[in-house]
Amino acid sequence: MKTGTSNPPGPRPRLGYPIAAVGAGVLLAGILSALVIWFRSDLREEIHLKIVERDAAVLYPMALQQLSEGDEGGPPGAASPLTALLKSARQKGMLAVAVFDRDGNTIESVPATQLFVELPTDDFLRLQRGAPISRYHPAFPLDQYFTGVSPERRQEPVLEVLLPLPGPSPEVVRGFVRYFIDARPLSEELALIDARINRQTAVTLMVGMVLIAAVVALAAFSVQRAQRTIAERNERLTRANFELTLAAKASAVGQITSHLIHGLQGSVEGLRAVVAGHDAEPAGSAWVSAAGYTERLQTMIRETIALLGDVSANASYELSGRDLAATIRERNKAAAAEKGVVLEVDGGFDATLNSHRGSLLCLIASNLVQNAIIATAPGRRVSVSLANAGWSIVLTVRDEGAGIPEEVQKHLFKPGRTGRAGGSGLGLAISRLLARQIGAEMVLLSTGVEGTTFRVTMARQE
C-alpha cells in the first residue's frame, strides 16, 4: 500500500529548440554567404569592365589626333591616311597595331611578325555601330598571333582595344584600328583590386556571421527562458492543485476527526478513571506511566474539542503573545522532560491574535517542537522564539540535532517524505497547509550538523 504521494515529473528539456535555432542560424549564414559572394562577383566584374574601358577611352583621342595628322599630310606613298595610326606601335607597352578600312579589310599592321591579321565578323558588325571594344586577356596566346615568340613568353596578359574611326560625318565610319597592349601593369592593378574586394568580402562575411550567431543565441536564450518560465508556472500550478486537493482531503478528514474525537472523549475519561485507581502504585511502575500518557491524551482531546468548538460556533477571543508562549511551553514540556531535552520558549510579542489564528499557530508550533525534541539528543536544547518583526509575527523553532539529510530537503513539505524511521511525512505538510490557512509562510531557515531552524512568518491583523 502506498504511504506517500509522488508528484508528476517535471518537464524534460526539449532538444528541438536548440536544434531549430542552429538550423535557422545555418540557413541564414548560407543565405548571407550566397548573397555576399554574388555581390562580390558582380562588383568585381563591374570594376574590371570599367578599368579595361578606361584604357580604350584614353586611346580614342590619341587615335583621332593621329588620324587628323594623317589627313593633313600623311607619309609619302601611304596607301591611306589611316596608316598614320601605326605610329602608336612605337609607344611603350604597345605590342601591335593593325589598321582596317571601312569594309574590314586589312590595310597595314605593325610589327610584321603578326600572323593572320584580320577583323572578325562579330567585331566588324559591332564597330560599325560606333561602339569601341575592349577585351582583357589574362593569358593571351602570343605564339598564335606572332612569330619568333620566346618559349617563356608564350602566354602573357594582353589588352585588346578596337576603335571605329569616324569619317566626315558621324554616320560614316572611315575605318578601324586594333591595338594589342602589354597588360602586365593592368594585371597587377586588377590583382590588387581583387585582393581588396576579397578582404572586404571576408570582413563582411565575418561580421555577418557574428551578428547571425548573436541573434540566434539571443533568440535561443529567450526561447529557453520562456520555456523555463512556462515550466515553473506549470510546476507552481501543479503544486497549487495538489495543495487544493490536500486541503479538500484535510477538510474531510477534519470532519471525520471531529466525530472520532467526540467519540473518544468518553472512552478516555473512563480509562483515566481506571488508571486513577492505581495511584498508590510505586513510582516508575507501568500504571504511573499509563496515568501520564492518559492525562496527556485527555489534554490533547480537550484542546482539539475546544478548537473545533470555537470554529463551529464562530467563537472568537483574544490571545496575547505571552499566552501563546505559555501554551506552547505547557503542551511540550512533558515530552521534552521525558526525552531529557531542555525546552526554552522565549517571551512573546506585544500584540494579540484572535483565538482561531492563535490556536492554529500553537498547533503548528507544537508540531515543530515535537519534531525538534525527537531530533535532539538528551541534554541538548530546543529553542522557541515568538517576536514582532515589523508588521509580522515570527515564530522560530531551533533544535540542536544532526540536521536534515539533503535528499530529504528536496521534498521536505511533501507528504510521504520523511527522514525519520517510523515517520509518516505528514507533519510538516499539514503544518505548512495550516500556516497558509492563517496567511503565514513556513520555511526551513537553516539545517546542518549544528541543528535545524524552522521559521513561520504571519502578518498581523489590526
Lowest mean pLDDT among 32-41, 137-146, 402-411: 402-411
pLDDT tens readout for residues 363-396? 889 889 988 998 999 999 999 999 888 788 899 9
Q: What integer pLDDT is reported at residue 272 of this predicted model?
A: 60
In order of 202, 307, 347, 438, 459, the CA distances from 356 in angstroms are 76, 8, 21, 9, 14
Q: What is the percent of the chain with per-residue pLDDT over 90, rounded to a whole number?
A: 17
**Helix or strand or coil: residue 100?**
strand
Give pLDDT tens digits for 321-360: 888 888 888 888 888 999 899 999 987 777 777 777 888 8
For residue 412, give the C-alpha cell.
Answer: 521536505
Instruction: Kindly give, in sequence order, each residue whose CB lies less than 8 Å from that of residue 135, ignoring residues fewer than 6 positions away.
Output: 52, 159, 160, 161
Instruction: Please give the average per-residue pLDDT across 444-455, as a whole number.
Output: 92
**What are the structural domains, with CATH classification, of the chain?**
17-182 (3.30.450.20), 317-459 (3.30.565.10)
Q: Which is more confidently placed, 140 or 276? A: 140
SS (HEC) of 393-441: EEEEEECCCCCCCHHHHCCCCCCCCCCCCCCCCCHHHHHHHHHHHCCEE
**Average pLDDT taken over every residue of the chain:** 79
Residue 224 has pLDDT above 70, yes or no: yes
**Residue 336: partners with Cβ closer than 8 Å, 6 or more residues away:** 342, 343, 373, 382
Q: Which of 221, 264, 267 lies closest to 18, judged by CA? A: 221
Each residue of 255-269: pLDDT tens digit? 545 545 555 555 556
Name the CA radius of gyration of the chain, rounded: 52
Please determine, for residue 56, whether its predicted confidence score (pLDDT) is greater than 80. Answer: no
Highest mean pLDDT among 89-98, 291-300, 303-312: 89-98
Instruction: Quote the pLDDT of residue 274.
Output: 61
- The torsion region of residue 389 among left (phi > 0), alpha (psi -120 to 50) and beta comes to beta
* Whether the predicted model's global pTM rises above the 0.75 cut: no
Asked if the model's pLDDT at residue 438 lies above 90, the reply is no
How far apart are the C-alpha atoms of 286 and 349, rounded to whole Å? 41
